[in-house]
């Protein structure tokens, strides 16, 4: 019989190195998903535990739980920790908890450790960041600490993977231990707490006092408790006149009293401790009233230069190669409907997005470098007061910046904002930040109308226009937040309080993994949607109601009887597309979009991109390769340049391009975002309000731009 | 003279935490290691004057808003 995987969970303060340890343990054997029932991101992975004394190897499943300072959650993602640890029936409930502790800040880190240890789940303490402690002239005696805490203590360096075998061995020993070691409690209930605990324990058949106390304090956060059970616990609280806030403060202070002598016995310090020198020096510059903002602006500029200028080389290469690949496939496959479907439908659609892989990889890479290095926390500090003016929080900076990559994970990161009001506003405006799915649209339209000249010797004109569009997205997001904050009543004060991590050199392997992961999910997720839509679109644009297409073709041939053969072929293709199902569709909505400068072909692409913006370019590629000359395959850009409007002039004039650009800056064209807002706000009210106001904003702005420019 | 709070510290000035004025805020502060008796020092002020960064017990740097800092009484 196959042995079941051992389940372990990593718990720890934010910045204690939990995720680094997770990567060191699991390597690439990890996956990202959601915890059941909630949208908090769940990272889990596996590793193989070598057998000892003749026992077989075992597989271990590791779950990386959200970072938290205590078992009492302050935000939605922290709530996951206790929801799992207090519920033995939870699928992720661990057999062993590894508490990752920052040795340079032992006192505060041990608070969480003592709470977790009191829950009665076998616990191991992983002592991390001993190098930082050493640079602060602190030495930690792990043996002494283990004796004081009555648990295995393993010294590790998560960044260099030192001590990982020792940790694995400790896990093995804890799992194989048949008898439970005597529980050491770091908090002893007092007053009438024991009586209350006794009653809760009897009621729920619990074998641990501290778990019973958690039932009392946070039963509303426990998804596994039904409403009547919660009501019963509330009545118990009333019966014993239990004062929750007072209890929490007393408990925390009592714990610190227990921790203090433990820290004194196991930590030796030489002189006054101080943060590492380079962190203090860097903060002098990065939090400076002037240089702080200058650096932030420069970093943003570099990001946009990178995703436009540097990414253009691999993109051009990909663009040319997809085009020649498609024409190669067209020649190799036998002519016919299937050939058309594969080349004009599927490959044209996929090729339209594949070229954006370099941009997405660079963008995700740079954002993760900012987070890894510790700089993101400084950005939150210098932006907090600005953000507050708009009803947001310094923490909203992370969703807003991540929104530049993708609104879906960005909206999920709002769970770290504890104020409901600030979180809702952040969710509502994050989709206005220009996400990577808009990048294909921006890139192609900018390339059409803006020359690639240098400005001031270093900046590329196209890069600057792109920067402008992102800036417009940011401005739109902040302005919307301010307007919305006038309508949405604030119910509680927001708070900031943020630990400033020391600066670190990014773990390049991790940055590389983030890039790989984002590209993979972009290609797979977007690829699926694009594949489906390309096929549907191809069918809809290759067939028409009744004999409309044949009639249109004959009419075109007759009208063009004097013209050269090439022009006749183009006119026939165009006439056929126009009378197809898709063409009818586009014609149907044309009156609505005409004031924005769009024709029915753009209309088809607009409708298709309601599923996801990245479909737009793929759709254009499909539409124009069907309507275009089928013999030679052009890149999408070349096709758009050749496109003529009804009057025979250039279709993609600056006015039309700008109107489209502005439309896509604001329009909420993304099913996944609507879905994630629905999940995060628990209802249809907010996603519908959001969809409505963004569509109106997009339409009105695009209308204004087109009318002013033409 | 009224009791001073962390929000009134000068840059580089050190003080010992005495007590808290806001019950809910004090819970969060305690969890972040701001325990009565612990030494704090004002390290930096954000460009717009708020939030501020304080060093807690020589261990680490904590950033908080002025209205949060004003709930920490010092001696």
Locate the chain A residue with the closest alpha carbon to B57.
A273
Q: Which residue has the higher pLDDT, A567 or A338?
A: A338
Q: What ipTM is given for this predicted complex?
A: 0.94
Q: Please check whether residue A90 is in contact with residue A2, taking contact to mean a CB–CB distance below 8 angstroms.
A: no
Q: Which residue has the higher pLDDT, A351 or A687?
A: A687
Q: How confident is the model at residue A694 (pLDDT cuts 50, 70, 90)?
A: very high
Q: How many CA atoms are closer than 13 Å to the CA of A125, on its beta-carbon side?
A: 27
**CA quadruple A495, A500, A501, A506: dihedral positive or negative?**
positive
Average confidence (pLDDT) over A379-402: 89
Cis peptide upstream of residue A410 (ω within 30 degrees of 0): no
Q: Which of A277, A497, A501 to mutate to test the interface with B (most CBs of B within 10 A)?
A: A497
Query: A156 to chain B nearest CA, in Å?
Result: 20
Q: Do A480 and A560 lie in a common domain?
A: no
Q: What pLDDT does A560 receive?
A: 72
Average confidence (pLDDT) over A119-136: 92
Residue A21 lies in a domain: yes
**Would you call A495 and B65 a contact, using CB atoms and an 8 Å cutoff?**
yes
Residue A489, classified by CB atoms within 10 Å of its CB into exposed (0-12), middle (13-18) or buried (19+), is: exposed
- Give the structural domain span for A157: 6-176
Residue A508 lies in a domain: no
Q: What pLDDT does A633 receive?
A: 55
Q: Return the CATH number at B25.
A: 2.30.30.90
SS3 B53: strand
Q: How confident is the model at residue A1 (pLDDT cuts 50, 70, 90)?
A: very low
Give the whole-angstrom CA distance, residue A437 versus residue A89: 40
Average confidence (pLDDT) over A73-97: 91
Residue B43 lies in a domain: yes
Query: CB-based contact (8 Å) between B61 and chain A?
Result: yes
Query: CB-based contact (8 Å) between A288 and chain B?
Result: yes
Residue A283 lies in a domain: no
Residue A526 has pLDDT above 70, yes or no: no
**Would you call B53 and A292 a contact, using CB atoms and an 8 Å cutoff?**
no
Share of chain A above pLDDT 70, in %: 94
**Would you call B31 and A290 a contact, using CB atoms and an 8 Å cutoff?**
no
Give the whole-angstrom CA distance, residue A429 versus residue A697: 12
Residue A415 has pLDDT above 60, yes or no: yes
DSSP state for residue A186 in the 8-state scheme: S
Residue B67 lies in a domain: yes
Average confidence (pLDDT) over A562-579: 74
Of A82-96, A146-160, A179-193, the range with the lowest mean pLDDT is A179-193
Of A105-114, A142-151, A246-255, A299-308, the range with the lowest mean pLDDT is A299-308
The Cα-based distances of A91 to A63, A84, A122, A238, A444 in angstroms read 11, 8, 17, 33, 47
Average confidence (pLDDT) over A16-45: 81
Which B residues, 19 through 48, put their C-beta within 8 Å of a C-beta on chain A? 23-33, 35-36, 43-48
Q: Of A454, A487, A520, which residue constitutes the final position of a domain?
A: A487
Query: CB-based contact (8 Å) between A111 and chain B?
Result: yes
Q: How confident is the model at residue A626 (pLDDT cuts 50, 70, 90)?
A: low
Q: Of A141, A161, A176, which residue constitutes the final position of a domain?
A: A176
Q: Do A453 and A544 lie in a common domain?
A: no
- What the block records as the tokens of B51 is 């939030």
Q: What pLDDT does A629 receive?
A: 52
Residue A628 has pLDDT above 70, yes or no: no
Point out the residue among A293, A385, A497 whose CB comes nearest to the CB of B50: A385
Residue A467 lies in a domain: yes
Of A191-200, A535-544, A655-664, the range with the lowest mean pLDDT is A535-544
Q: What is the mean pLDDT of chain A?
A: 85
Average confidence (pLDDT) over A385-399: 89
Residue A374 lies in a domain: yes
Q: Please check whether residue A222 is in contact with residue A86, taking contact to mean a CB–CB distance below 8 angstroms.
A: yes
A49-67: burial string, b at 16+ Cβ within 10 Å, e else: beeeeeeeebebbbbbbbb
In SS3 terms, A636-693 reads as: HHHHHHHCECCCCCECCCHHHHHHHHHHHHHCCCEHHHHHHHHHHHCCCHHHHHHHHH
Q: Please check whether residue A595 is in contact with residue A703, taking contact to mean a CB–CB distance below 8 angstroms.
A: yes
Q: Do A408 and A553 lie in a common domain?
A: no
Give the whole-angstrom CA distance, residue A294 versus residue A661: 28
Residue A38 has pLDDT above 80, yes or no: no
Share of chain A above pLDDT 90, in %: 37
Q: What are phi and psi of A686, to 5 degrees?
A: -70, -45
Q: What pLDDT does A548 receive?
A: 78
Residue A159 lies in a domain: yes
Q: Of A176, A207, A224, which residue constitutes the final position of a domain?
A: A176
Q: What are phi and psi of A409, to 5 degrees?
A: -65, -30
Q: Which residue has the higher pLDDT, A664 or A179?
A: A664
Give the whole-angstrom CA distance, residue A44 versus residue A272: 40
Point out the residue among B30, B47, B57 whose CB comes nearest to the CB of A382: B47
Q: Do A478 and A537 lie in a common domain?
A: no
Tens digit of pLDDT for each residue in A481-520? 999 999 887 776 677 889 998 898 888 888 888 888 778 8
Q: Do A444 and A590 lie in a common domain?
A: no
Q: Which of A458-467, A494-503, A609-618 has the highest mean pLDDT?
A: A494-503
Q: Please check whether residue A486 is in contact with residue A421, taking contact to mean a CB–CB distance below 8 angstroms.
A: no
Residue A25 has pLDDT above 60, yes or no: yes
Of A560-569, A626-635, A654-663, A693-702, the range with the lowest mean pLDDT is A626-635
- Give the structural domain span for B22: 6-74
Count of domains forming chain A: 3
Give the whole-angstrom CA distance, residue A352 versus residue A334: 24
Q: Please check whether residue B26 is in contact with residue B20, taking contact to mean a CB–CB distance below 8 angstroms.
A: yes
Q: What pLDDT does A163 receive?
A: 93
**Residue linked to tokens 């597989």:** A59
Q: Do A466 and A567 lie in a common domain?
A: no
Q: Return the CATH number at A137.
A: 3.40.50.300
Point out the residue among B26, B47, B65 whose CB comes nearest to the CB of A249: B26
- What the block records as the tokens of A487 is 């309508």
Count of domains forming chain B: 1
Q: Do A364 and A300 lie in a common domain?
A: yes
**Residue linked to tokens 């952040």:** A426
Q: Do A469 and A335 lie in a common domain?
A: yes
Give the whole-angstrom CA distance, residue A345 versus residue A540: 11
Residue B58 lies in a domain: yes
Q: Do A535 and A466 lie in a common domain?
A: no
Q: Please check whether residue A653 is in contact with residue A710, taking contact to mean a CB–CB distance below 8 angstroms.
A: yes
Q: How confident is the model at residue A417 (pLDDT cuts 50, 70, 90)?
A: confident
Residue A76 has pLDDT above 60, yes or no: yes
Residue A568 has pLDDT above 80, yes or no: no
Query: CB-based contact (8 Å) between B18 and chain A?
Result: no
Residue A593, classified by CB atoms within 10 Å of its CB into exposed (0-12), middle (13-18) or buried (19+), is: buried
Residue A13 lies in a domain: yes
Q: What pLDDT does A27 receive?
A: 83
């Amino acid at each position: 019989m196959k042995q079941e995987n051992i389940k372990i969970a990593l718990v720890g303060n934010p910045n204690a190195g939990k995720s680094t340890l997770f990567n060191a343990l699991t390597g690439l054997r990890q996956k990202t998903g959601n915890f059941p029932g909630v949208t908090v991101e769940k990272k889990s992975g596996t590793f193989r535990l070598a057998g000892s004394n003749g026992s077989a190897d075992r597989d271990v499943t590791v779950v990386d739980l959200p970072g938290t300072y205590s078992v009492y959650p302050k935000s939605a993602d922290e709530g996951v920790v206790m929801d799992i640890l207090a519920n033995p029936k939870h699928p992720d409930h661990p057999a062993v908890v590894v508490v990752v502790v920052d040795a340079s800040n032992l006192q505060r880190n041990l608070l969480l450790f003592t709470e977790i240890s009191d829950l009665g789940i076998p616990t191991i303490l992983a002592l991390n960041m001993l190098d930082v402690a050493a640079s602060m002239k602190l030495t930690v005696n792990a043996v002494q600490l283990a004796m004081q805490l009555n648990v295995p203590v393993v010294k590790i360096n998560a960044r260099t993977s030192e001590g990982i075998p020792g940790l694995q061995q400790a896990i093995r020993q804890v799992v194989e231990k048949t008898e439970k070691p005597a529980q050491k409690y770091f908090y002893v209930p007092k007053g009438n707490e024991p009586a209350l605990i006794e009653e809760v324990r009897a009621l729920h058949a619990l074998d641990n006092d501290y778990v019973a106390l958690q039932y009392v304090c946070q039963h509303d956060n426990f998804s596994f408790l039904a409403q009547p059970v919660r009501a019963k616990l509330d009545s118990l609280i009333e019966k014993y006149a239990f004062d929750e806030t007072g209890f929490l403060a007393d408990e925390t202070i009592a714990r610190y009293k227990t921790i203090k002598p433990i820290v004194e016995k196991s930590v030796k310090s030489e002189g006054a401790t101080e943060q590492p020198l380079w962190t203090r020096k860097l903060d002098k510059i990065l939090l400076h009233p002037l240089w702080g903002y200058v650096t932030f602006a420069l970093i943003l500029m570099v990001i946009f230069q990178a995703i436009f200028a540097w990414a253009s080389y691999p993109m051009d290469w990909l663009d040319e190669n997809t085009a020649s690949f498609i024409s190669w496939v067209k020649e190799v496959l036998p002519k016919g409907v299937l050939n058309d479907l594969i080349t004009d439908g599927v490959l044209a659609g996929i090729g339209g997005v594949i070229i954006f892989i370099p941009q997405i990889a660079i963008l995700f890479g740079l954002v993760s470098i900012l987070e890894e290095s510790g700089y993101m926390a400084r950005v939150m500090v210098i932006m907090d007061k600005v953000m507050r003016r708009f009803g947001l929080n310094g923490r909203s900076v992370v969703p807003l910046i991540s929104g530049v990559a993708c609104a879906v994970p960005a909206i999920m990161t709002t769970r770290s904002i504890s104020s409901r009001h600030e979180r809702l506003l952040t969710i509502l405006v994050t989709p206005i930040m220009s996400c990577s799915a808009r990048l294909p649209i921006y890139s192609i339209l900018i390339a059409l109308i803006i020359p690639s000249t240098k400005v001031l010797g270093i900046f590329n004109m196209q890069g600057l226009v792109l920067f402008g569009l992102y800036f417009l997205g940011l401005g739109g997001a902040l302005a919307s937040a301010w307007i919305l904050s006038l309508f949405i009543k604030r119910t509680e004060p927001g708070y900031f309080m943020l630990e400033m991590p020391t600066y670190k050199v990014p773990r390049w392997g991790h940055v590389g993994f983030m890039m790989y992961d984002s590209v993979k999910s972009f290609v797979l997720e977007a690829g699926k949607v694009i594949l489906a839509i390309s096929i549907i679109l191809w069918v809809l644009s290759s067939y028409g109601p009744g004999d409309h297409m044949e009639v249109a073709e004959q009419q075109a041939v007759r009208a063009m009887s004097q013209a050269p053969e090439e022009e006749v072929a183009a006119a026939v293709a165009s006439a056929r597309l126009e009378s197809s199902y898709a063409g009818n569709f586009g014609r149907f909505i044309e009156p609505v979009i005409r004031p924005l400068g769009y024709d029915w072909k753009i209309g088809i692409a607009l409708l298709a991109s309601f599923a996801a913006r990245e479909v737009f370019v793929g759709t254009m590629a499909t539409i124009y390769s069907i309507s275009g000359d089928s013999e030679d395959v052009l890149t999408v850009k070349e096709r758009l340049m050749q496109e003529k409007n009804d009057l025979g002039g250039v279709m993609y004039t600056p006015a039309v391009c700008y109107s489209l650009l502005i439309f896509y800056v604001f329009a909420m064209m993304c099913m996944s975002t609507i879905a994630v807002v629905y999940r995060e706000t628990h209802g249809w009210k907010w996603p519908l309000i959001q969809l409505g106001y963004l569509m109106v904003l997009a339409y009105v702005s695009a209308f204004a731009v087109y009318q002013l420019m033409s | 003279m009224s009791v001073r709070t962390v929000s009134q510290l000068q840059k580089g000035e050190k003080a010992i935490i005495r007590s808290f004025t806001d019950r809910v805020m004090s819970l969060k502060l305690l969890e972040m290691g701001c325990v009565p008796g612990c030494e704090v020092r004002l390290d930096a002020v954000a460009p717009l004057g708020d939030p501020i960064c304080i060093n807690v017990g020589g261990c680490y740097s904590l950033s908080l808003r002025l209205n949060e800092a004003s709930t920490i009484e010092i001696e």
